[in-house]
Amino acid sequence: MPIESPTVIILGAGFSYVAGLPLAKDLFDAEMFAPSKAAERRFSAVLQSWRAWQSTHPGHGPEQFLTEIYHSPMIGAVPWVWAVETVATALATPLPRDRGTYQTRYAGRITRPVNVPEHIAFWDLVLSRFAIAAVVTTNYDLLAERGLRHRPTQRPKRPGMHYGGLIRPQILKGTAFPFSIMKQERQIELEGGIPLYKLHGSLNWGLETGVLSLYQDNRPAFRHGSDAQIVPPILEKGVPPWLAGVWNGARQALASCSTWIVCGYSLPLYDHAITQLFSDAAAAGTVARIILLDPNAETLLDRWKAVAPQAEIHPLPGLPDALRDLAAP
């Protein structure tokens, strides 16, 4: 039976890393699907600029590199939009287990259940052991959506999700395969009960004539030089106006929950906006316990204690090792 105290799940890059996606420090070493020759040339220019920059900035990573591009019109003939496209592509390129018979840009669809054993075990446990009220994530990928499912299911038992902070109903566009026996739905509605707050946007959110459009796959990352609506990983990320509703909803969800389960998010010192978000929610709310699932959880205790001084902090290993301890009464 689930523990009745309301719980929010906070997912960071470490959660997706378990599935095979790169961490921020490895973004420019990841496999990238180039949808066109022009895109391939843009990626090559960004990677060449990155390698040249890295040779003169030892010990610095992609986030510092991207921050410098953001503040400069050009670095090594690489405009900011090319850098953002490269980041989106690195994270949208489907994992080998997700490719199947789909065209690459349509693989890893939100309608396909997640096939990462560690994630399946994680959702099995937290959904049965805790009263999950919301999920908050800094990740752009669709792994959380696929773990919770786009609508309630019985096998395995999942509550389904919808995007917290965005207007409902939420209708996602798809791709029809007219010659397939198993025809794909052209449109689906997110019908689940758990709100998923994506603080930095999502690879399946595109912008069409100034309006946010939602898709079943990551195609916005691969088209028009990438129009995926994401906040790229730079050192001083702000909150764009179109994400204000998401952040406000996340703040309220965090404040309403007495237990926070943090999986794979290290609370970087430079990420002032998110640290402030958590601090404000903790000050306004009832959080009494924070459970950290991270290989370096012990080193993060002081950071989270500064965010929520009133909360008990419980460090556990990362996935999957933490699941045994998390399951304990």
Pick from 24, 82, 98, 78: nearest CA to 226? 82
Total Cβ atoms within 10 A of residue 303: 16
Q: Does 70 share its domain with 183? A: no
Domain boundary among 94, 121, 146: 94
User: 């699907």: which residue's tokens?
Assistant: 33
Same domain, 221 and 232: yes
Please give the angle made by the CA atoms of 111, 24 and 37, to the nearest 5 degrees: 70
Assign 296 to helix, strand or coil: coil
Q: Does 67 share its domain with 122? A: no
Mean pLDDT rounded to a whole number for the chain: 91
pLDDT digits (tens, 9 = 90+) for 196-226: 999 999 999 998 777 899 999 999 999 989 9
pLDDT digit string, tens, across residues 298-326: 999 999 999 999 999 999 999 999 999 99
Q: Is the pLDDT of residue 12 over 90?
A: yes
Residue 237 near residue 273 (C-beta atoms within 8 A)? yes
Structural domain contains residue 102: no
Same domain, 13 and 29: no
The structural domain count of the chain equals 2
Beta bridge pairs of residue 11? 137, 263
Residue 276 tokens, joined: 């402030």
What is the C-alpha separation between 122 and 21, in angstroms, rounded?
17
**Structural domain of 254:** 3-21+107-327
* Residue 79 domain-assigned (yes or no): yes
For 256-275, b/e burial (b = at least 16 CB within 10 A) is bbbbbbbbbbbbbeebeebb
Are 134 and 69 within one domain? no
Cα–Cα distance for residue pair 139/129, rounded to 1 Å: 24
Residue 14, burial from CB neighbour count under 10 angstroms (0-12, 13-18, 19+): buried
Residues 49 and 116 in one domain: no
> pLDDT digit string (tens) for 90-106?
999 998 888 766 678 88
* Residues contacting 30, CB < 8 A, separation 6+: 21, 22, 90, 91, 93
pLDDT reported for residue 122? 97
Whether residue 52 sits in one domain with residue 10:
no
Strand partners, 197: 136
Are 210 and 235 part of one and the same domain? yes
Residue 112 and residue 157 in one domain: yes
Domain match, 274 and 142 both: yes
Q: Find the helix or strand (DSSP H, E) in which 290 lies.
A: strand 289-293
Query: Is the previous residue joined to 241 through a cis bond, with omega within 30 degrees of 0?
Result: no
Mean pLDDT value across residues 239-244: 89
Q: Is residue 155 part of a domain?
A: yes
CATH number for the domain that contains residue 233: 3.40.50.1220
Q: Is residue 26 pLDDT above 90, yes or no? A: yes
Say whether both 264 and 177 belong to one domain.
yes
Please tell me the chain's helix, strand, coil percentages from 3-state DSSP, rounded to the nearest 5.
Answer: 40, 20, 40
Q: Is the peptide bond before 320 cis (omega within 30 degrees of 0)?
A: yes
